[in-house]
Structure 1
Amino acid sequence: MPIIHGESDAQLAVTAAQAGAAVVRELYGRRPARREKAAGDFATAADLAAERAILDVLRAARPDDAVTAEESGDTGAAGARRRWLVDPLCGTLNYAAQTMLVGVNVALRAGAEVTAAATADPFSGEVFWTDGTRALVRRDGGDAELTPAAGSALVDVNLDPPYPNAPGFRPALLLADPGFAERFRPRVVSSTLAVAWVAAGRRAAYVTDGHLADSVHFAAGIALCRAAGCTVTGLDGEPPYTGAGGLIAAADAETHAALLDLVNRQARRGS
């Protein structure tokens, strides 16, 4: 666990995520102004203010590190070995609709691996975090180990486009498969907070399409799940960030195998 200026990278990720979460919580319910980004996508004043708070923490402690942030983009050397990935408010649509299902994601990629990460829930006060080896949740100042569990049978499926693996994979068709309904119960949180919930045993699995390399949305949750001992692959069963992309993060190997079979079944139908 690298320690620079007295603070480890993991603890810095926690501090930065908490700073962003405090802003998100403070501005909740004020119907903040929107900034349009693309069709169907926007940022609020809370996204922007939370990102500034996070970047202030990171730049003060690690001024030489590069950053990729959801709203302000890339700063620092393009080929930097250390790069922070920042998603200041994952679940902006939820937040704008005054729904308390959002997360604040901060992760550090050092070389090819995410070595520190935190996902903060602004409304529960919990911070799910990892130093790359352990996965814990900080609550009321104390830390507890995360323990994945599949018993709930709850599986979050991200329905937001784009779907780069279509027509071989469409998340709505996964939910409609009779085999899914026989074993699992769908949930659509629309925030990567739900990926942290897989590590915490609150969800059996999480499934999404997309290109996730250096993703500000998913890097923290994937790191948490891997450190907690979850089974984590892309949609094709290959390691994350390789192959077809996408994500199947499951509490255990059995749950993962069942979901991978359903995804493969859909791919065969689409071919």
Structure 2
Amino acid sequence: MITDGDLVVAAAAAGAAVVRARYGGPLARVEKSAGDFATEADIEAERAVVDLLRAARPDDAVVGEESGRTGAGGAGRTWLVDPLCGTLNYAARSMLVAVNVALRTSGGVTVAACADPFAGEVFWTDGSGAYVRRDGVDEALTPTADSRLVDVNLDPPFPNGPGFRAVRLLAHDGFVERFRPRVVSTTLAVAWVAAGRRAAYVTDGHLQDSVHFAAGIALCRAAGCVVTGLAGQPPHTGVGGLVVAADRPTHAALLALVDDQLSAGAR
């Protein structure tokens, strides 16, 4: 029987194949809420991922961004599926997107994968190590802050506003002195922290069981990154949010910048 690790890689790759094949062509949109929509590619990619998971693990539950929750999940196993993270990018014919798949059990997320449809890479973890697979070959991920590039998510919602707004980090003297901002608007950038292509990633939001973030957080933890909420607390507690850094000095510097805002907002 296929292992969960092999299954999560195959599932993410199946979604990525759909996203790649549909790129650049006409795509009908499905409106979800003000300023938010899915495309036919989102829906087809999710179907490809879910069909593969269903065939291999019929007793598991699946939570898809587009289709919601299906299956009983009586064994306490739930797959979290984000079939196209970066839909706005994709619809504008930008290739900065990802396909995220993660398995959550009673012990947390045990396997996860983040596929880049256009680079032909799948970042994945079996719960112990973290790797990138290219052309069937795995390479261990090694975080590093050498690039000094910090990706900041500027998309709403902003549950800690007006006290904290990520956009204000970009104008902070302490940020400018040490880091260089990037805004790719897809959680592919979280995987890039694990891979050493970003020094850190910062976002606001309540991310518990998020189909967008579960895979990236699991990757970063397995790779040895520092992963906390905005106030340095365990993820998914307190004020929420996420600060993922390649090393402790980078993490400490970003927490200090975030605390400047949070403390000022509390006064």
**TM-score, scaled relative to structure 2:** 0.98
CA offsets per residue over residues 169-223 of structure 1, 9 Å max, x none?
1011111111111110000000000000000000000000111110000000000
Are the equivalent residues in 1 in contact too, given 2:217–2:227 (CA < 8 A)? yes
Equivalences for residues 85-234 of structure 1 within 5 A: 85-234=80-229
1:49 aligned residue (27, 44, 64): 44
CA-CA distance at 1:79 after TM superposition: 7.2
**TM-score, scaled relative to structure 1:** 0.96
Are the equivalent residues in 2 in contact too, given 1:167–1:267 (CA < 8 A)? no
CA-CA distance at 1:80 after TM superposition: 5.7
Are the equivalent residues in 2 in contact too, given 1:31–1:96 (CA < 8 A)? no
CA offsets per residue over residues 95-139 of structure 1, 9 Å max, x none?
000000000000000114100000000000000000111000001
Matched length: 266
CA-CA distance at 1:168 after TM superposition: 2.1
User: Which residue of 2 is the match for residue 29 of structure 1?
Assistant: 24
Judged with a 3 Å threshold, the aligned counterparts in structure 2 of structure 1 residues 236 and 79 are, in CA distance, closer, same or farther, namely: farther
Letter in 1 for 2:192: W
Are the equivalent residues in 1 in contact too, given 2:59–2:74 (CA < 8 A)? no
RMSD: 1.0
Range with bigger deviation, 195-204 or 232-241: 232-241
Letter in 2 for 1:150: A
Range with bigger deviation, 238-247 or 223-232: 238-247
- 2:1 pairs with 1:17: no
Distance 2:9 2:22 in 1: 20
User: Which residue of 1 is the match for residue 3 of structure 2?
Assistant: 8
Letter in 2 for 1:93: L
SS of 1:7's partner is coil
CA offsets per residue over residues 17-69 of structure 1, 9 Å max, x none?
00000000000000311110000000000000000000000000001111111
CA-CA distance at 1:269 after TM superposition: 1.4
Distance 1:51 1:200 in 2: 25
CA-CA distance at 1:78 after TM superposition: 7.3
2:63 aligned residue (50, 64, 68): 68
Distance 1:266 1:14 in 2: 39
Distance 1:77 1:236 in 2: 36
Distance 2:140 2:258 in 1: 31
CA offsets per residue over residues 196-252 of structure 1, 9 Å max, x none?
000000000000011111000000000000000000001111111222111000000
Equivalences for residues 224-263 of structure 1 within 5 A: 224-263=219-258
Distance 2:180 2:164 in 1: 19
Are the equivalent residues in 2 in contact too, given 1:68–1:74 (CA < 8 A)? yes
Letter in 1 for 2:231: D
